[in-house]
Amino acid sequence: MTSQGTNAPAKPRVVVVGAGAIGLAAAIRLRERGHDVEVWGKDEPADTVSAVAAAIWYPFLAEPRERVLGWAAATFRQLAAFANEPHSGVCMSEVVEELAADAGPPWWAGAASTIEHLRAADVPTPHGAAIRLQVPVCDTRVHFPWLRQRLQALGGRLVRRHLQSLDEAFAAAPVVVHCSGLGAASLCGDRDVHPVRGQVVCVRRPPGLQLPALIDDTEAQPFYVIPRGDQIVLGGTAQANDDNLAVDARDTQSILAGVEARVPALRSAAIEVVKVGLRPCRSQVRLERERRADGGVLVHDYGHGGSGYTLSWGCADEVVALVAAALAETPAG
């Protein structure tokens, strides 16, 4: 944590609304800068979409690309650094992404590590092109609790609280960082934010099995196989405007059929759990600040789609900059 001199002015208290990956990253960065930080979340940790996510670094369902690229690059660097910290639950993993035969490099290539284009003979079927690279993978069973513990070790606080209005947060602090995801629909009347349903099947990794992560985003429904520790996450779905949190047996069967056809080594893998989460999507990520009539500073940071872990630290750095700039200004009136 950044130390404050004995004569340094106290920094304003901040309430972060939302206790997922986005909110926790923002809270940690603000605490590192000396703010008194409290995170308010309406859900138990296991019930957040961050706990369900496959959590591989991979920009997905997030716009605009020019801003996403910068946030993703910054987050890549931070997660890669976390991979060197014991007990973080982050590791650098090999991933193969299947591409259409005539596709060039992915638009996000500049934010990642060195990309290798596979020879035609090494490309997984049924596609004609593929790339291989190293990216961070977060084992959410370990990494999500680790983030919460990291915030608390810095002196930040976590409170379970369901808000009816952001005014409740401003009653407790002059600065509010709004990271509620889908909650923005009710908290600030944002009609643009909407759910994109994701279902995953988590299986136990067969003893001794080593395989890279595999991603195919060329079809309407994404396909991925993400090894993490003793578990492998199989997916998935991307069902827009679907808020059904119940497990759909048809989706489970579709996922398992795809895996059986393309990764035969997982045909007999034991299913541990099937999970559903709702990605908070928006036409564009909303990361901006506004000054309230009462002088309060509100920073919005939501709408990251399927890229919460992928954009979290880059967005957190921008949140810190927006808060600092707002506090440096003299409020009008």
pLDDT for 216: 92
Which pLDDT value is given to residue 66?
A: 97
Which range is least confidently modeled, 42-51, 82-91, 103-112, 169-178?
42-51
- Cα distance between residue 129 and residue 64, in whole Å: 26
- For the record, the structure tokens of 314 come out as 């880059």
| pLDDT digit string, tens, across residues 73-120 | 999 999 999 999 999 999 999 999 998 877 788 999 999 988 998 887
DSSP track, 253-322: HHHHHHHHHH-GGGTTPPEEEEEEEEEEE-SS-EEEEEE-TTS-EEEEEE--TT-HHHHHHHHHHHHHHH
pLDDT value of residue 3: 41
Please compute the mean of the pLDDT values over residues 44-53 and round it to a whole number: 80
Q: Where are the alpha helices (DSSP H) in the chain?
A: 21-32, 49-52, 65-82, 140-153, 167-170, 184-187, 249-262, 308-328
- Count CB neighbours of 121 within 10 A: 5
Sign (positive/negative) of CA torsion 39, 44, 45, 47?
negative
Lowest mean pLDDT: which of 151-160, 188-197, 218-227, 296-305? 218-227
Above 50 in pLDDT, residue 176? yes
For residue 187 the two structure tokens come to: 């908290």
Segments making up each domain of the chain, as ranges: 14-328
pLDDT of residue 220: 83
Tokens of residue 79, six digits? 């997660």
Kind of pairing, strands 14-17 and 297-302? unpaired
Q: How far, in Å, CA of 234 to CA of 188, rounded?
A: 35
Residue 104 and residue 116: Cα distance in Å, rounded?
12
What integer is the mean pLDDT of 191-207?
A: 97
pTM: 0.93
Under CATH, which number does the domain 14-328 receive?
3.40.50.720
Answer whether 98's CB lies under 8 Å from 216's CB: yes
Average pLDDT of the segment spanning 184-200: 97
Q: In this predicted structure, what is the pLDDT of residue 1? A: 41
Q: What would the pLDDT profile of 312-325 be if each residue is shown by its tens digit?
A: 999 999 999 999 99
CA angle 59, 147, 182 (to 5 degrees): 55
pLDDT of residue 105: 84
Q: How far apart are CA 240 and CA 196, in angstroms?
A: 4
262 burial via Cβ count (<10 Å: 0-12, 13-18, 19+): middle
Segment 226-246 shows an average pLDDT of: 96
pLDDT at 320: 98
What secondary structure letter does DSSP report for 70?
H
d(CA 303, CA 285): 5
Query: Per residue in 248-303, pLDDT tens?
Result: 999 999 999 999 999 999 998 999 999 999 999 999 999 999 999 999 999 999 99
Mean pLDDT of the chain: 92
- Comparing C-alpha atoms, which of 29, 39, 36 is closest to residue 1? 29
Question: Which residues touch 18 (CB under 8 Å, ≥6 apart)?
Answer: 39, 40, 41, 178, 179, 180, 181, 183, 302
pLDDT of residue 330: 60
pLDDT band for position 6 (cuts 50, 70, 90): very low
Q: What is the CB neighbour count within 10 angstroms for residue 180?
A: 28
For position 332, what pLDDT does the model report? 45
